[in-house]
Amino acid sequence: MSLMMKELKEGSETIKNILLANKDTIAKIGMAFKERKLTGITTIARGSSNNAVQYFKALNEIVGEKMVSPLNLSVVTVYNSKVDLSENLVVAVSQSGKSTDTLLAVREAKSSGAMTVAVTNNPESELARECDYHIFIAADKELSVAATKTFMGQLACLYLLSNAIVPKTAKMNLSLMPAKLREFFTESEDKMLQFALATKNIKNTIILTRGFLMAIADELGLKLTETCYIFCRAFSTAEFMHGPLALIEEGTNVIMLAPSGELEEEFISMATRLSLLGANIISFTDIPKIKEISSHCFEMPTMQSLENPFIYTAAIQLYAASLASVLGLNPDKPRNLQKVTITV
């Protein structure tokens, strides 16, 4: 078993640890945010962490009705421009807490008067010490290069943070998620290996979804790229109609993350159109019609919308680890990569 496979199954325990480790900190952040009457929320992140903050943005805006803006780090690190963040909460997310550009951007934000929060798996890291508050991912050490339990942990940390600062809070009991994840892994590991065997020849793949799962689609693209060396690009189903649809021809590989719920009819319409155009549809779904249309389908459990990002994260991580195994690749040590990536 790869370290990636072992560690991704530790995601459920990570959520339990997060709930225990951060209760007081989350409450303090929520209180300070309100006392300072901050009007903006800005995120700073790279890689998988940047996908996690996409989830944070969607959650804040869809449920909390509070806008979130990502900071283009090159503004600070390359162009040396000054951005006034004095009325903002700045959330910096980094698994290691060692990313140079993230740290430089936080320092610039603090100098402009921002309130800063770090989300890391290392409370002793420079980023954790630099920020006003630190939310601990509490995942123990992650050894595989591919971020799995730390990404799941970031989702949990950012869910808690969002509920502490937005006007309308999300109605999901995060403490129930670890048990649901354990059940999913128990029921799905062998099935996912067979699914990976059936889809092992995919190359140059388009990933489609929308809403809460857009961040998870981007994370799937990153995981398949770094562990299986498959070029992927994720699109919103709506954005895909504005040009990229021209890519579809007979045999084009399309992975759909398509849970039932608010977007069900849109997903069915897209899958139907792709099928008529000859696409090879590989789906993760609980929607019967899409199951019928798909060339290959991994049947997902039906969950509430707010639960889907966690369950689909478990599915896409399990898929990437299983596919790497089928392909004879080592997902723990992808070529040309190391665990901590330093960019400026």
Phi, psi of 335 (to 5 degrees): -60, 145
Q: Smallest Cα–Cα separation from 332: which of 187, 159, 147?
A: 147
Domain endpoint, select from 171, 190, 223: 171
For residue 296, what are the β-bridge partners? Answer: 282
Domain endpoint, select from 123, 150, 171: 171
Mean pLDDT confidence for 119-148: 96
Question: So what's the pLDDT on residue 333?
Answer: 86
Q: Could you tell me if residue 332 is inside a domain?
A: no
Q: Are residues 78 and 201 in the same domain?
A: no
What is the C-alpha separation between 120 and 137, in angstroms, rounded? 6
Q: Are residues 134 and 199 in the same domain?
A: no
Q: Could you tell me if residue 257 is inside a domain?
A: yes
For residue 93, what are the β-bridge partners? Answer: 45, 119
Question: So what's the pLDDT on residue 85?
Answer: 94
Range of the domain at 227: 176-326
Instruction: Write down the pTM of the prediction.
Output: 0.96
What are the DSSP E strand ranges found in 195-331? 205-209, 232-236, 253-258, 280-285, 296-299
To 10 degrees, the CA torsion angle through 66, 317, 282, 218?
A: 40
Q: Could you tell me if residue 333 is inside a domain?
A: no
Q: Alpha-carbon torsion 76, 82, 86, 88, what sign? A: negative
Domain count of the fold of the chain: 2
Residue 342 has pLDDT above 60, yes or no: no
Question: So what's the pLDDT on residue 6?
Answer: 96
> How high is the mean pLDDT of the chain?
95
Domain endpoint, select from 171, 193, 216: 171
Q: Are residues 310 and 195 in the same domain?
A: yes
Q: Could you tell me if residue 341 is inside a domain?
A: no
Written as six digits, the tokens of 300 are 């997902």
- Map tokens 């900071």 to a residue: 71
Mean pLDDT confidence for 153-165: 98
Q: Are residues 75 and 195 in the same domain?
A: no
DSSP, res 263: T
Q: Could you tell me if residue 336 is inside a domain?
A: no
What is the C-alpha separation between 227 and 43, in angstroms, rounded? 26
Q: Are residues 84 and 67 in the same domain?
A: yes
Q: Could you tell me if residue 26 is inside a domain?
A: yes
Amino acid in position 30? G
Q: Are residues 226 and 244 in the same domain?
A: yes
Distance between first and last Cα of the chain: 35
Question: So what's the pLDDT on residue 338?
Answer: 60
Question: So what's the pLDDT on residue 120?
Answer: 98
Q: Cβ(16)–Cβ(174) under 8 Å?
A: no
Q: Are residues 44 and 112 in the same domain?
A: yes
Q: Are residues 148 and 189 in the same domain?
A: no
Helix (H, G, I), strand (E, B) or coil at 116: strand
Helices (H), 229-307: 237-240, 264-276, 288-293
DSSP string for residues in 28-58: HHHHHHHHTT--EEEEEE-HHHHHHHHHHHH
What is the chain's Cα-based Rg? 20
Q: Are residues 123 and 229 in the same domain?
A: no
Q: Cβ(163)–Cβ(170) under 8 Å?
A: yes
Residue 339 has pLDDT above 60, yes or no: no
Q: Are residues 321 and 202 in the same domain?
A: yes
Q: Could you tell me if residue 343 is inside a domain?
A: no
Q: Are residues 116 and 86 in the same domain?
A: yes
Q: Smallest Cα–Cα separation from 137: which of 145, 128, 129?
A: 128
CATH at residue 51: 3.40.50.10490
Pairing of strands 88-93, 232-236: unpaired
Mean pLDDT confidence for 79-102: 93
Q: Cβ(311)–Cβ(176) under 8 Å?
A: no
Mean pLDDT confidence for 86-105: 94
Q: Could you tell me if residue 271 is inside a domain?
A: yes
User: pLDDT tens digits for 235-270?
Assistant: 999 999 998 998 999 999 999 999 999 999 999 999
Q: Are residues 20 and 151 in the same domain?
A: yes
